[in-house]
Amino acid sequence: MCGIIGCSGRSDETLDVLLSGLEGLEYRGYDSAGVALSNGTLSVCKREGEIHRLQQAVDGDLGGPVGIGHTRWSTHGPPSDANAHPHTDCSGGVAVVHNGIVENYADLRAELTDRGHEFDSDTDTEVVPHLVEEELADGATFEEAFRAAVTRLEGSYALAAVAEDSAAILATRHDSPLVVGVGDDAAYLASDVPAFLDYTDRVVYLEDDEFARLETGSWTVTDADGGLIDKSVSRVEWDAEETAKSGYDHYMLKEIHEQPRALRKCLRGRVDERTGSVAVEALEGLNPGSVQFVACGTSYHAALFGAQTLREAGVPAQAFLASEYATSPAPVTDDTLVVGITQSGETADTLSALREAQHRGVETLAMTNVVGSTAARECDRTLTIRAGPEIGVAATKTFSSQVVACNLLSAAVAERGDAREVVEALRDLPGQVQKILDSSRAERVAEEYVDSEAYFFVGRGHHHPVALEGALKLKEISYEHAEGFPAGELKHGPLALVTAETPVFAVATGSGEKATKTVGNVKEVEARDAPVVAVTDGASDVGRYADVVLEIPETHARVAPVLANVQLQLVAYYIAKKLGRSIDKPRNLAKSVTVE
């Protein structure tokens, strides 16, 4: 949600760096964009809408040694030029960009208004430059004024500021990510690495309440009291090519097709096919008495899968929506493990849930895609899913990698008699995903059902999370009504919604009891004239009662959900494409949700 970019040291290239950085942050979701550059005077340009409108509006002479930019996703006030960032003070001498929410902004705004300040926007952010302005008027330096203003704020924030008479960018964070990019002759600042990956792969992650100062070709990090902090510089494993579309129409389609490679990376060095064992350094010595997963959205569906997998192995496990857990945590014991599944490692609700668990004294594990993320740094242990950069807002390859990582976690902490079979199935998984990508009939299914009134997805056991994820993916990018259910719940209410205009996607693999019962549920919807799309390995006779079959290879029951999900990802993609939707940047959605 929202994006920040900053650059110092590129002189007449600063504007180009800012604009390309904003393009690199488009995947986070936004409704307006803007830039501010300092060169003795402060120049600001911002526009509602997509970045190309900002690019058309900027003055070609806009330049300076330092600058900041922002993509906004509305929280306070509707999308407009006035509400776009950066925001300035009364004199136009200070500009600020902000991710997060200033919870006490109404009180601060009233206080500042009483002292004669005039506001141009509806945003909470605008109080910050006015607070800085007051401190400057009292004789403070720019850095002193910025620090003093920050002490007045309550809530979450990643802040960056420039001033007309300063050659520095000042920045700080609290519960919202910021990272410094270290170049050979320049320094960069961003809310996420892709913003400056074209220029450097060396990064410094800021912790809460640390302050960064970026000047021409140099950077420093200090604590809240101004003390210098010796920060280590990390190297990002991604390269700029990984964040490009590489010939695909959309990032989402590219990332769906990257799943075989992502799964190989997730498994590499972690499974031993000879012994059928799993060896993950981050999980060594882990022996929880119970496990609680906390997650949001797609990651929550992976958590549901992980919890069921552990329960089947005899380990008590539950999955919780992180936003609920943070305010109503479940009971824990000394040997409880709380696992936070978060693609970005910056999801505010999940971080709050993990911090609540830490406050209660239990061990925490971050399952994330980003090595240096807040979750990875704060948790006791980190299991990285190694999916590589995911730019499309709708998660695809990260979900598949999360499901595989949950299998690794289950194998590492619980004794299972089928361990060798699971490891063999995981070994074959990337090739089986590739087979689906090469032969899927999903595009033809999309053509057949693109004009339906609604879409329903059902599955049992490990396929219940797949049904939920299939529905979520379709509604995210097509804006069509879609719901997922445990297959057995259809007759307890949702069946009232089933008509000839509502296709039902039924996931059934294997030939056991779950598949047999799912076939019975398919017959129920068939009797209501609803078209049925079966996602199946052909082991049951569900295909006999389906209008269309999307085939997947036979595999272990704990691995099949990944294969079924790939088919449903493709269905969602092609329906959205045929409807002409904005697939990579769905309306109202953001890739990384950093506010609660």
The residues annotated with a catalytic role in the active site are: 2, 591
Beta bridge partners of 318: 292
**Quick one: DSSP state of residue 146?**
H
Distance CA 112, CA 122 (A): 14
Q: Which two tokens stand for residue 271?
A: 């499974």
**What is the strand order of the sheet 290-295 is part of?**
317-321, 290-295, 336-342, 363-368, 381-384
Q: Which two tokens stand for residue 587?
A: 């309306």
Q: What is the CA radius of gyration of the chain?
A: 25
Closest CA to 372 of 337, 344, 403: 344
What is residue 69's three-state secondary structure? strand
Contact 410, 316 (CB under 8 A): no
Assign 3-class secondary structure to 374-420: HHHHHCCEEEECCCCCCCCCCCCHHHHHHHHHHHHHHHHHCCCCCHH
- Answer for the pair 390, 401: CB distance below 8 angstroms, yes or no: no
Q: Where do we find the tokens 């800012």?
A: 18
Asked whether the beta carbons of 298 and 398 are under 8 A apart, the reply is: yes
How many angstroms separate the CA atoms of 257 and 251, rounded? 10
Cis, peptide link before residue 65, omega less than 30° from 0: no
Secondary element (H or E) of residue 166: none
Q: Mapped to the 3 state alphabet, what secondary structure does 81-124 carry?
A: CCCCCCEECCCCCEEEEEEEEECCHHHHHHHHHHCCCCCCCCCC
- Closest C-alpha among 274, 240, 394, 406 to residue 337: 406
CA-nearest of 40, 37, 48, 3 to 21 is 3
Structure tokens at 357: 């668990």
Q: Given phi > 0 = left and psi -120 to 50 = alpha, else beta, which region is 29?
A: left
User: In whole angstroms, how far apart are CA 374 and each of 195, 370, 402?
Assistant: 18, 9, 18
Token duo for residue 343: 């693609």
Q: Where are the beta strands (DSSP E) in 216-335?
A: 218-222, 234-235, 271-272, 277-278, 290-295, 317-321
